[in-house]
Structure 1
Amino acid sequence: MALSISLVLLLGILVVVLIRGKSVKPGPAVVCVLFGFFLASTSMAPSINRFVTSVADMIGQIRL
């Protein structure tokens, strides 16, 4: 059975868990979210997207 989840949703849950667990304070978390938001509008976005997609595909091909 394959489980498909959006990377944005997964990272959002991770940020909430880190904030609630006091590992990351809300201020730095907001800065990181804003950095990602603005990074998405740069010329590096397609390269980052291809890299993340290839890593996700590689993980998806692992058979246990």
Structure 2
Amino acid sequence: MSVSLSVVVLLAIVVFVLLRNGALRVLPALATAGLGFFLASTGAAAPINAAAGGLAALLAQISL
């Protein structure tokens, strides 16, 4: 749970910075958020969560 919350916060910061700099427009950002929302309710959510957890574990081992 803490990994997914950290990823959400990090991605929210990235999107906010991109919107403020004008590198990302509002409608594409909303479309991407909608895609992520609906993707989370499909069968692809479990493999994506597993891959993110594996990447987090790999990064944790590298930093030690």
**TM band (smaller chain):** 0.7 to 0.9
Task: Read off the aligned partner of 2:60 and give its amino acid letter.
Answer: G
Structure-1-length-normalised TM-score: 0.86
Structure-2-length-normalised TM-score: 0.86
Higher relative contact order (CA 8 A, sep 6+): 2
**Structure with the higher fraction of residues in helix conformation:** 2
Calculate percent identity across the aligned residue pairs.
41
Q: Which of structure 1's runs of 4+ aligned residues deviate more than 4 A? A: none
Tell me how far apart the structure 2 counterparts of residues 21 and 38 of structure 1 sit (CA, whole Å). 27
Query: 5+ residue gaps in structure 2?
Result: none
Query: 5+ residue gaps in structure 1?
Result: none
Question: Shift in Å at residue 63 of structure 1?
Answer: 2.7
Tell me how far apart the structure 2 counterparts of residues 21 and 60 of structure 1 sit (CA, whole Å). 31
Aligned alpha-carbon RMSD (Å):
1.6
